[in-house]
Structure 1
Amino acid sequence: MDPHVGSGKIITAPIITEDGVPINDPLVLLEATAADQQPGSTTTTSNGDESSSSSSSSANHRLTDKHTIEWKLTLHQIGLDVLRTDRSMLFYEKKENLSKLWDILAVYAWIDKEVGYCQGMSDLCSPMIVLLNDEADAFWCFERLMRRLRGNFRCTQQSVGVENQLQHLASIIQVLDPKLHDHLERLGGGDYLFAFRMFMVLFRRELSFGDSLYLWELASMPQKYPGLNFF
């Protein structure tokens, strides 16, 4: 699909334009340094010949498949999000672990043509990388989790993916703590959108790494903890 996937490096800058023209920029690799740049990587010269040749070459390799273009356009965004995911953990001080997270999200974005990649997926995928040594096992665990949660990432101008969960939360709070519910209504928070991120990434950013996984374990046992069904 792309030589960067599985290379042990992370794309952090666009590698393609919205028109499908490749961008030859050495900064697209996280580990790129001046020493790694190949001679002749510049796109302009005093006489302009090199720029013309580069433009002609890019035009010849222009992509036309819409799905491929959309996928390649997300790769650098995945890289930027990966660099912000659980960075307080010593585990992610190793670049190979960061690249595993990037690889899995990049491949998932390719196979899920309808949803692709959305911010927040890195928070859901990170525990798989930490807990499992094998990258393939981590991928399929994440893919299985997304079968249940992918609907959370479907947002339109009319609705948000976690709208049902927000409505369930509002109903629960209205019964358990009507005073709090009325207070939120007066403040204009009766739609409970403040809980959007909580449901989107299953409290990964509200709780510590260990506590969030403990909550996941409880939520996976609805018969024992029915109060977490709306989760």
Structure 2
Amino acid sequence: MDPHVGSGKIITAPIITEDGVPIKDPLVLLEAATPDQQASLISTKNGDEADHRLTDKQTIEWKLTLHQIGLDVLRTDRSMVFYEKKENLSKLWDILAVYAWIDKEVGYCQGMSDLCSPMIVLLNDEADAFWCFERLMRRLRGNFRCTQQSVGVENQLQHLASIIQVLDPKLHDHLETLGGGDYLFAFRMFMVLFRRELSFGDSLYLWEVNTSF
């Protein structure tokens, strides 16, 4: 596990190369390290980096995603006053980073921050928020699984197309005419459960109805 997790900091720049060599970027040092750590890291010579090269592929892949998580966290629900506090942003980053660590098959994908954000807002305890998010992902992680043959959410799009074709064939035919018969316009709706289509409050009402069955 990376020491940045739980430090109250957010990483928005790469901290490691694809070869497993730590990146001593001043931007990373300033935003992700404590003052004491900054002094020691900045004084580290570039020649010492090879001594700290990682060899475990899963660890390297995880560390490569940490800055992407940070960038997505900064874009999540930015209109909310709640996220004006950096400590709340760091909670969101921590949870997503830890989840990516424990679920190595799926890891982190864009859209997860939208799903996790309500947990941070509604629950004061970071651990409680994590386990609620982990429970939600048990139902939704299939949407984020990708293979050479298909994307996880593709099955739901096919089901939607079949349902619309039966319930409203005119609408289905119209979408086919417009070139939308693959229903890709609904991709984001399924991935983040309408978090970006509806307001924060309305999306939670929809979640409550959806999970009550």
**TM-score, normalised by the number of residues in structure 2:** 0.89
Deviations 1:195-214 (A, max 9, x none): 11110111101111011110
Task: Tell whether the 8 Å contact from 2:15 to 2:25 is kept in structure 1 after alignment.
Answer: yes
Task: Tell whether the 8 Å contact from 2:157 to 2:186 is kept in structure 1 after alignment.
Answer: yes
Structure 1's consecutive aligned runs of 4 or more residues displaced over 6 angstroms after TM superposition are: 32-37, 40-50
Q: 2: distance between equivalents of 1:49 and 1:118?
A: 32
Deviations 1:85-136 (A, max 9, x none): 0000000000000000000000000000100000000000000000000000
Q: 1: distance between equivalents of 2:37 and 2:94?
A: 23
Deviations 1:11-54 (A, max 9, x none): 0000000000000112126747999995x88999999999xxxx
Q: Secondary structure at the match of 1:182?
A: helix
Task: Tell whether the 8 Å contact from 1:129 to 1:138 is kept in structure 2 after alignment.
Answer: yes
Q: By how many angstroms is 1:157 displaced?
A: 3.8
Residues 165, 82 of structure 1: CA spacing in aligned structure 2 closer, same or farther, 3 A cutoff?
same
Task: Tell whether the 8 Å contact from 1:10 to 1:30 is kept in structure 2 after alignment.
Answer: no
Q: 2: distance between equivalents of 1:47 and 1:80?
A: 26
The runs of 5 or more residues in structure 1 that have no matched partner are 51-58, 218-229
Q: 1: distance between equivalents of 2:13 and 2:36?
A: 17
Residues 157, 189 of structure 1: CA spacing in aligned structure 2 closer, same or farther, 3 A cutoff?
farther
Q: By how many angstroms is 1:191 displaced?
A: 1.1
The runs of 5 or more residues in structure 2 that have no matched partner are none
Q: Secondary structure at the match of 2:35?
A: coil
Give the equivalent residue in structure 1 for 2:180. Answer: 189
Q: 2: distance between equivalents of 1:26 and 1:212?
A: 39
Task: Tell whether the 8 Å contact from 1:11 to 1:75 is kept in structure 2 after alignment.
Answer: yes
Q: Secondary structure at the match of 1:48?
A: helix
Higher share of residues assigned helix: 2
Q: Identity rate of aligned residues, in percent?
A: 93
Q: By how many angstroms is 1:179 displaced?
A: 1.1
Deviations 1:149-190 (A, max 9, x none): 000001234211112211121122112221110011112211
Name the stretch that deviates more: 176-185 or 77-86.
176-185
- What RMSD in Å do the two structures reach over aligned CA positions? 3.2
Aligned residues: 210
Q: By how many angstroms is 1:194 displaced?
A: 1.2
Name the stretch that deviates more: 123-132 or 166-175.
166-175
Q: 2: distance between equivalents of 1:113 and 1:33?
A: 26
Q: 2: distance between equivalents of 1:189 and 1:157?
A: 23
Residues 37, 84 of structure 1: CA spacing in aligned structure 2 closer, same or farther, 3 A cutoff?
same
Task: Tell whether the 8 Å contact from 1:105 to 1:122 is kept in structure 2 after alignment.
Answer: yes
Task: Tell whether the 8 Å contact from 1:26 to 1:32 is kept in structure 2 after alignment.
Answer: no
